[in-house]
Amino acid sequence: MTDTTWAPDLSQFPGPKYLSLSRALREAIRTGDLPPNAQLPTVRDLAWRLHLTPGTVARAYQLATQEGLLAATVGRGTFVAAQAPRLGPTQALYTERLTGGATGLVDLRPPQVAEVGQREAFRAALLAMAETTGQGWLDYTSQGGEADLRAEIVGWMGDRLLGPIGPQDVALTHGGQNAIHLIFDCCLRGERPVVLIEELAYPGFRYAARAARAEVVPVEIDEHGIVPAALEAACRRHGAQVLCLTSEAQNPTTGRMPVERRQQIAEIARRYDLQVLEDDCYSVAESDIPSLRALAPERVWLVGSLSKTISAALRFGYVICPAGMGEAGRLTAQHGFFALSRPVADLCLHLFRSGAAAAIKRKVQAEFAERLQILVNHIGAFDLDWQPGVPFVWLRLPMGWRASTFTRMAEARGVLVRSADEYALINGRAPSAVRIAISGSLARDAFERAMRTLADLLANPPSDLSV
């Protein structure tokens, strides 16, 4: 069956045009207006009918294809997929990062640490490790063998107000995302558990929740973080088991939750027996207020990693488990992957004990601070939120810009940034804003050129608001 004349009324679906079109596709498939195997109009035909750009239609088709709603066949066209659910995750694979070279693109989507001596520190550690390899490098790794490394993590977190913690409270993971999966494995029960996240939040939360067959429910945020009344209403309505949030440097808005708000969240979590995942992978350089882990130690799981301070390539993360739950966390890790690989564990232990990790962290933070100053010098006159020590900023776009249009036009001029849409659920609210990350791996002159490009774009919005 074909339906190459389909042309929805997008006025029923407010928001960026590509999201409006993807929602219209979903609704038409749900109601049967577009039955299985129906052929859709070509990108160019539908763009012409709806007065959109081909890129907008292509992006909507891509989203629907990733969700398993559509199937594209080279040479035949795009069709409504069969109703059998698609297996596995639907988001695109992360490929090679784009920092210039043949691509000509400056990638300001993920923060990237600068090279400030990591290579030499890693080389020294690996040479020292080569002299001590023994039988332990042939056996399966174990949680018991990580005791010294867990003790180093307690010292590493000494600049945070976490309340009483010890090595017994720590579980080690293969990066922060692996830590999120571990916590969900510990906490989620039942056929369709519910996870609460901030209405704009790190996408990894929802990816991990979907892998755990959990329903994801967004909760309203304001400049101080999760709104307590909205959180309590969501707890009453959905009976959620886990709340995911970032208290120190909200991703993507950079907001920092004041202590009064943290106390309110802790009380609501107790009232509804809610477990809390506190993401500390992004954080201010120094914290002078208690974490949620300090305020509700019996139910807060704090996640951290070395990706934003030392190197993302190490894939080293950790969880400060709730009091008395450290063994449960480590047992879950043991069931999932035994323990960290021996080379990674020994390398990180050497970096901590030698002082190299602390020295690298200080230099990375100093480099981020200098580049943040460059960024603020160029675009600080616009509606910009940022915090010292946080390697990204939140930019609310001036009148005349939409986030989807800005990101597309920035890409056309060689700069990649993240739209607010990427941090909202598919049917959620997304403001006209973008997140701009600080790239430490990019030459400073190239980083400054990228800032000049963004400043020029911001000052010259397009005249056609339909794109």
Question: Is the Cβ–Cβ distance between 100 and 106 less than 8 Å?
Answer: yes
C-alpha 140 chain-centroid distance: 31
Q: Does 118-354 match 10-80 at the fold level? A: no
**What's the token pair of residue 438?**
């600080």
Q: Is 451 exposed, middle or buried (0-12, 13-18, 19+ CB in 10 A)?
A: buried
Question: Is the Cβ–Cβ distance between 206 and 425 less than 8 Å?
Answer: yes
Output the pLDDT for position 88. 61
Question: Is the Cβ–Cβ distance between 169 and 326 less than 8 Å?
Answer: yes
Calculate Rg over the CA atoms of the chain.
23
Output the pLDDT for position 81. 86
- Apex CA 39: angle with CA 38 and CA 41, to 5°? 135
Domain positions in the chain: 10-80, 101-111+358-459, 118-354
Q: Which segments of the chain have a pLDDT < 70?
A: 1-4, 74-75, 83-103, 135, 464-467
Q: Is 263 exposed, middle or buried (0-12, 13-18, 19+ CB in 10 A)?
A: middle
Output the pLDDT for position 86. 52
Overall fold of domain 10-80: Arc Repressor Mutant, subunit A (1.10.10)
- d(Cα 354, Cα 344) in Å, to the nearest integer? 15
**What's the token pair of residue 208?**
């991990």
Q: For 101-111+358-459, which CATH class?
A: alpha beta
Identify the DSSP state of 439: B
Find out if CATH 1.10.150.120 is the number for domain 118-354.
no
Q: How many CB atoms lie within 10 A of CB 67?
A: 17
Name the phi and psi angles at 121, rounded to 5: -65, -40
Nearest residue to 408 via CA among 78, 57, 96, 64: 57
Output the pLDDT for position 283. 77
Q: Number of C-alpha atoms within 13 angstroms, CB side, residue 457? A: 24
